[in-house]
Amino acid sequence: MPTSDDQTPADRTNLGAHPWRRYVALGDSFTEGIGDPEPGSPGGHRGWADRVAEVLSQQVDDFAYANLAVRGKLIAQIVADQVEPALALKPDLITFSAGGNDVIRPGTDPDQIATQFEDAVVRLSRDGATIVVFTGIDTDFTPVFRPFRGKVAIYNENIRAIAEKYDCIVADQWGLKEVQDSRFFDADRLHYNSLGHHEVARMVLRALNVPNDLRPMQPDPLPVRTWRAARTEDFVWARTHFVPWVLRRVRHRSSGDEITAKRPDPLPIRSLAPANDPSAGPAEQV
């Protein structure tokens, strides 16, 4: 995706307005914004992609943003349902995160998942848009998903190789140590909460070399809990979140069944951050 001066847009130091005018986000619950509820946002969730779009829209007058992501989708479904609609919107910036739901399923092959990912990147590269792809988070901090750490690491190496081959920008969740903490996650222990989505948005903007005024946000200290209280919390989590997740897998159902994309068309976006949002501050130079 070279420009006339043989640089991709992200190779430039964006001291002024960034070069993008139409941003389309593809993916699953991570990109849809699950875990970051916001009644004023389409679909009732804000998320990192909305936050990135808010910053980008503040720097140019004619910016538009679409989000095609739907929770619970496997990579084959994302490719089948979102790639062609995304291309039809003529974006010059695409974020593509897929395969996470596949990798954490027992018996799946990260190399085979990556092959599907690469095929999608080839198609998304057709019109020269800047493409941002994501590595998976290091799951060592969470006992629930720690057994999948090796598979995630293998998948990440594939993602990096694909990004190098097709000149994509890598947003490196694996290296984002700030969010490897349960306090950055929703009660379901799977999706980021608002703090986590905020930190991912900051990471994506750094990857794009876009200056912004989003400041780091610190979670509250962990409460002191007895062993019994911690086990009670684990039991409630298992009953409320883990068991329904397993039952959906057994029944071949998804949390995204009957859900449609929250922003299927590229439209202007207004900031959903409150006026006294503590995350706003002096512009961060990248």
Evaluate whether 219 touches 181 at the Cβ level (below 8 Å). yes
Phi-psi region for residue 99, left (φ > 0), alpha (ψ -120 to 50) or beta?
left
Helix (H, G, I), strand (E, B) or coil at 224: coil
Q: Which residue has the higher pLDDT, 281 or 117?
A: 117
Task: Look up the CATH number of the domain holding residue 185.
Answer: 3.40.50.1110
pLDDT tens digits for 15-42?
457 999 999 999 999 999 999 999 988 8
The yes-or-no verdict on residue 276 having pLDDT over 90 is no
Assess if residue 144 is contained within a domain: yes
Q: How many CA atoms lie within 13 A of 125 on its CB side?
A: 19
Residue 6: pLDDT band with limits 50, 70, 90? very low
Instruction: Please tell me the distance from the alpha carbon of residue 198 to that of residue 237, in angstroms, as a whole number.
Output: 24
Assess if residue 189 is contained within a domain: yes
Assess if residue 249 is contained within a domain: no
Assess if residue 220 is contained within a domain: no
Assess if residue 70 is contained within a domain: yes
The yes-or-no verdict on residue 179 having pLDDT over 50 is yes
Residues contacting residue 174 through CB under 8 Å, at least 6 positions apart: 135, 136, 137, 138, 152, 153, 156
State pTM to two decimals: 0.83
The residue segments making up the domain with residue 89 are: 18-215+262-270
Mean pLDDT of 126-147: 93
Assess if residue 277 is contained within a domain: no
Burial 40-69 (b: 16+ CB within 10 A, else e): ebbbebbbbbbbbbbbbbeeeeebbbbbbb
Question: What total number of domains does the chain contain?
Answer: 1
Strand partners, 26: 96
Instruction: Please tell me the distance from the alpha carbon of residue 136 to that of residue 122, in angstroms, as a whole number.
Output: 20
Q: What is the pLDDT of residue 266?
A: 93
